[in-house]
Amino acid sequence: MQIDILTLFPEVFPGYFNVSILQKAQAAGRLVIRLHNIRDYAAGKHRVTDEPPYGGGGGMVLKPEPIFAAVEAVIGRQKAKGRRQKAEDDHLVTLSPVHHVILLSPQGRPFTQQIAQELAGHERLLLICGRYEGVDERVRQHLVTDEISIGDYVLTGGELAAMVVVDAVARLLPGVLGAEGAAEADSHATGLLEGPHYTRPAEFRGWDTPEVLRSGHAANIQRWRRQAALRRTWQRRPDLLSTAVLTEEDKWFLRVLAEETVSREGE
């Protein structure tokens, strides 16, 4: 997969992208990340990228021209294949269906593991990081194909949000995580939270680890993990249980948990 990131601050990315799993994914050629400074596409001696908002008010707004120019330079201008109604209009960028142009925005659709999975199916992604008061509305209307928010709060810029999206998507690409299928048991991948993990030592300050996990009995370990995931989800995010895919055994275990809770409350 190739991910292009448009930003006014490309220097903030390498520290995170060039370590651990993301670094290995790039070294193995499974992930290509290209950083583009929006300022390089701004016209004039001063390469102005932002202006005060029409109508007044505080802050600055990112101008449309450098962002359109950057996207055109990065993915090229291509003849419409039905995506854009007015392809003959020279002012419109016409995008090939392989390009998914995402604006990071607190007004976008809330980012989830399901969206990360959906994005991992694309060959190329292009992420646009806003700054200041945000981007000129015409970028949203005529250039982007998706808007993503990483949460109901406002960040100074889209760079952290872009890192979050890249990280969550990259670890789902084939071969990126060491063990095949390692992401499949993660929290939210199956609709449940994952259960607890333990490692050596078996006993620490008098606190034990579950014996079953040290038993080497694969089926028992698997059952324990499933029940631990159900228990944790029941305790912390019961809302997830209404959409999770549950077996008959899962449903039986949830009934046991419910009965346990009722009898504890009755004590």
Q: Which residues are annotated as catalytic?
A: 106, 133, 171, 186
Among 19, 43, 73, 154, which residue interacts with ligand SAM (rule: CB under 6 A)?
Answer: 154
Residues with Cβ within 8 Å of residue 12, at least 6 apart in sequence:
159
Kindly identify the residues of this chain, within the stretch 73-112, that bind ligand SAM according to CB under 6 A: 104-107
**What type of residue sits at position 15?**
G
Give the sign of the dihedral formed by CA 54, CA 84, CA 129, CA 105. positive
Assigned token pair, 113: 């593991």
Candidate residues 12, 80, 92, 155; the one interacting with ligand SAM per rule CB under 6 A: 155
Residue 150 makes contact with ligand SAM by CB under 6 A = yes
186: CB partners within 8 A, 6+ apart: 113, 194
We find the least distance from the C-beta atom of residue 205 to ligand SAM, in angstroms, to be 40
Site for ligand SAM, residues 162 to 191, rule: CB under 6 A: none
Q: Measured between alpha carbons, how far is residue 186 from residues 55, 169, 189, 197, 211 in Å?
A: 47, 13, 6, 11, 22
Name residues contacting ligand SAM, limited to 7-66 (CB under 6 A).
none
Q: Which residue is closest to ligand SAM by CB?
A: 130
What is the biggest distance separating any 2 CA atoms in the chain, rounded to whole angstroms? 77
CA angle 143, 8, 30 (to 5 degrees): 75
Q: Give the count of residues interacting with ligand SAM (CB under 6 A).
A: 20
Query: Is 153 among the residues that bind ligand SAM (CB under 6 A)?
Result: yes
Residue whose token pair is 């995008």: 95
Q: Which is nearer to ligand SAM, 156 or 215 (CB)?
A: 156
CB of 134 to ligand SAM, least distance (A): 4
The only residue of 7, 93, 101, 134 in contact with ligand SAM, by rule CB under 6 A: 134
- Least Cβ distance, residue 133 to ligand SAM (angstroms): 5
Applying CB under 6 A, the span of 2-10, 46-54, 130-138, 171-179 interacting with ligand SAM comes to 130-138
First to last CA, the chain: 56
The answer to whether residues 91 and 85 touch, using CB atoms and an 8 Å cutoff, is no
149 contacts ligand SAM (rule: CB under 6 A) = yes
Instruction: Reduce the DSSP state of residue 9 to 3 states and report it.
Output: coil
CB of 16 to ligand SAM, least distance (A): 16
Note the residues at the interface with ligand SAM (CB under 6 A): 104-107, 129-131, 133-135, 149-151, 153-158, 161
